[in-house]
Every structure is written in structure tokens, then in C-alpha cells.
Structure 1
């Protein structure tokens, strides 16, 4: 992404998202007409697609901020690859292939049979997806929790939003593996609360989530260590690309599972969440090119707090149902509060600069 494009208008950033929205909603309307044969049915599917898009945006805005934080350090070549290949993986991989793969594994059927099941028996398909919620929540919750804690347990972090808490975490970041120990303790607590097979499933899936995070971190470290031996196109990119793809997958778990509360039709879900994913991509580009994270110093903190809240919610969802609206509003509220704090800080800085210039201080 070229920094010369930083003066692009809001419409310029959202152009392709708007085009995808129009095409997606039209496809939703056509699908609704084909499946119901009535105008009311068509409008219902149209509305569900729109709601799913809003759900995906609300759940994934913190994802866009984290993506922007990682993208700003990537080479332009890998930035472009993430924003092209990455969005294809995000839309088709996580919103279509991933739900199909769950059914293939859970039901022990082939991919073609899973597609037929999604089209012909959506209720059964939805039941299988809901039954797979526990291991998905354990895996995704663990990965996201490690992402959030690693950000705060960093002894080099010198900008703090919630000062007392973040200074405390930064101080103890020098203890190797402190965040891993915290997550493992939480895994043991939740696995002991659950009973029987559910306990074993949660424990196993959570450990896999932890191992996946550590493996991605290890791979990124190895790639960073061998930068000088790598081609210019690959420097500072492949490890971050893999990290962002796994991160996007973890963010997508909650939205994909939650979508089945609105509809059991896989294709409607793919359209709605796909529209939302395009807006997340547009927001990511805008955050990088406008250097928003630099101008609003606490915005990144709000995103990582939202990630931690989401990870805890995913854990708690293994015990109780929590509406997706609460998940989305919780994350959006934290990000909004961090934005307000950033604006307030900027105003105070400007006032201080004026006072210094006038000699009052």
C-alpha cells in the first residue's frame, strides 16, 4: 500500500465493499426467491444477509485494528498479498470451507455430501455445527487469549491506557512464559468445571489452540531470524501473513457459529459474513494508510482488550449461551472508549503545546 494514497476519501476505501454489498444482497434476494418463491421470503433472506454483515463487522472491527498493526511493518508486496489472497482465504476459506470441513469431520462424510447436506437438510447441518461449538470455542478462545496477553505482557511497552493494570503486566513480562502459565491455569479451571467428555474435549482443543499460537510465533521468529537470507519479496512478510491468517480464523469462529442462530442456510451465511469481511478489509487498509493507530494512541489498546474479552466470552460460551449482540457491543464499546480517550489525550497535548508556545508553562 502506497502512503501517497493516504488522502483517499472514505468512499474510495469503501468502494469495493459497497460493490460487494450490492452484489451480495442481490444474490441473497435471488436465493430467497428460489428457496421460498415469495416476495416476503426474498425480503427475509435479504434482511438476514444485511444483519449478518453488520454482525461480522461488529465482531471483527478489533480484528481490523490488529491487522493494521501487523500490516504496517510488512513489506508492500506482502501487504498486497494479504489484502488479496488473505481476503479470499477469509471469505471462501473461513465462511464456506471451514463450516463444511467441520461437518465433514464431525459427521464422517465427504465434502460433496456435506454440501448436499447443507442444501437439502439445513437443520441437520446446523445441529452438527452447534455440536462442534465447544472445541471451536476452546481452540479459538485460547489462541485469541494468547494474542491479547502477549500484547500486554511486553516489557518494552511504554504507552499505557489503563495505567495501573498495564504497568503491572509490563513489569512482570520479564518472567518467561507468564502469559502461558496464566492461560494454562484458566484452561484447567474450565476443564474441571465441565463434565466427562466435554471436559476432555475442551482441554484437548484448548491445548491445540495454545500449540498453534506458539507454532505460529516460532515460525515468525525463524523467518525474522533468517531475513538476510531471504528474498526482498519475502522479508518481513511470510511469518506475519501466516499469523494474520490464523488470527482471522480465530476471530471468524464466533461469527460463523453465531450466524446459525439467524439461519441454517450455509449459502446465506457465506453471503452475509462475506460482505462483512470485505468491510473489515477496507477498514484495515484505511487504518494503515491513514496511520490511524499513530494518531489515536489508545485505539490499539482497546482492540486488544476487546480480544481478551472475546476470548473469555468464548470460554464462558462452553458453559452458557451468550448472545452475539453482547459480544459485538462489548468489543465495539471498548474500542469506542479507547478512541474517545485518544481524542481527549490529543486535545490535552495541543493545549499543552499552545501553553508552552505562549510561555504560560
Structure 2
């Protein structure tokens, strides 16, 4: 027997063992990220199983065993088993019939190697037997993992022509798992075929870019994308050195990576441009708002807590870190609620209307400037009312 998968918490799960038993002997192998990440000794998020059983048979067996299942991707052969300790995706072996760079037409297969051959990188084409934990590796993925070498399976250009998004996936995986120098053939193929990214949906590109930017330190990889002409296709506005500066600030202040903040760093302080990029990447409403707020920065260092009160915690952190300012005052701090209401001003004899709103704004501004001192509200209000009497 060759290489074996080291035992891990997820390989000892009783619910997965029961699932494998339901599928039947020889009908299940762990595949992909769970195998890769276990070999790298990093936390496993998702468990995937490959099977020669057709989707209808998978559903029949799971249902007969009382295992709840959802046809999450049945057109591609994927059924999700809803288990007590987390879902597991079960996908029928496949081989590509045709591809056009955006989508693939697949047919179900019975050969494990055929299924492996259609995957993108050697480190993602590793399978493991649930009973023995024996690893099946047809393309040198284990050796590549040990060397931290990211390689396409087969001809890199052909793999990219099958699915253009593999260019961005390559750089994301390189940033997460790879080492330098990177695979020459892979980089040359990505540079040569970078223009094919224009044929992909903006949403797919945006999602992949945010996934890349959310990694611990994507700056060197993003810089390499710029050198190879890839970044100019998907984000021509990018200011690469600004990203490196932000990543350094996050690390210095022990603040978790945030992909939207990092996207903001790549963009100039231009609200109209940030709106264009947000639309191009199909960002959510909340993400668009944060990007626009970050774009309104002027580089001036402001009081951290006052900034958070005005903009919200996330946007305040964005502004502070992009300016290279200290965010420590926000650590463990909760944004307070302004303790004064308009009715209290009316009760003091001020006629309801614009004057009440003006007094409220004035007292609030002084309260914030005084460090959110609730014990000064009465004095501030007395002074404000006296000034209009």
C-alpha cells in the first residue's frame, strides 16, 4: 500500500462512516479539499465524496437509510447528505463531453481516473479510501503538495481553455498553497490566455477576486498577476502597492483580513469608480456601501471612535487602516447610542420642528467630541436651549 491519509477528526466521524456504509463497499472515496488540507495539516471545512453510483441511486440509498438529502447540484451529479455533524457532498464520477471556457457538458463515468483527469490542479485530484485511508494519486499531487508546487493536470493551456476561471483559481491557490518560484508553464498559460477572462460573468470574477483577497497575504500574488497582465483584464484600476501597505497594517495591528477592505485599497479614492467596480463585480448592497465609504477617504487621520460612531465599525476600520492610523481605540469598544430624543427638547419648551433637529445635531456633535460622556448631556442641552432663548 502506498501513501495514506493521516487520521483526522473528520475521518473519525460516525455519521460519515454510516454514510459510506450506506453507499456500499467500493462506492465511496474522499476527494479534493478534505484530502489536500489533511495532508497539509490544516483545518478541513468541507468533506466531499466521489462515487460511481448514479445520482438517483445515491438518493434511493440515502432515503432508504433515513439520511436527509438535497439535490443541490443534481444536473452535475451532486447530492448533499445532511448529517448530524455537517453536510457532505456526494458527486457521481464524471468526464467532460464538451467545454467552452464558461461551462462544461459532462457525462457520468465509472472510472476513478477519468474523474480525476477532469479536475484542475494535481493537488485537488487526490482521492482516499474511507476504510484504509489509502490515497489514489494519478498525477503526482502528493509530491506537488510536499513541494508546495501548484500545477495544472495535463496541458495548462488546454485546462484554461476548458474553464477560463481557472486562471483566477490558479492565482488564488498559488497564494494559499504555492511557493516561489511558481510553475513556469502555469504562469505562461495564464498570461497568454488572460484575455479569455472577459468572456466570464462578472459575478464569477468578483467572487473569485474576493476569495483571493480574503487570504492571509495576497499582495505578492496580486503583484504577480499585474506583472503577467492578468490583473489589467479584471481590475485595470488596481494600485498594487496600496494593497501591500494595507496588508502590513492589518498584520501590525492584529486585525483580521477583509476582502472588501482590500479591494478598496486597490482602488483610488474615487466614489464613482468604486461604484463602477462594485457593479462590475456584482457586489452586495452592503459591500457596495462599504466600498463607497472607503472611497470617500481623504487620508486625514480622525478620531477612531467618532469615526466608528458616524460610519459604523467596519467602515471606520477601513478608513483607519487605509490611512495607516491606529485602530486600537476600537478594540473591544461598542458603539454607544445617543441618549437624547427630540421629545425631551420639546418638553423643555422648544417648539417642534427644525429647531429641535438643529439642537439635537448640535448636542450630539458636542457629546461625541466629549468622548460620548452621557453625564454631560443635561449640561450640553441646557447650553443649547439657552442659546436660542
TM-score by length of 1: 0.26
Q: Which has the higher contact order (CA 8 A, sep 6+)?
A: 1
Q: State which structure, 1 or 2, has the greater radius of gyration over its C-alpha atoms.
A: 2
Query: Which structure carries more helix by proportion?
Result: 1
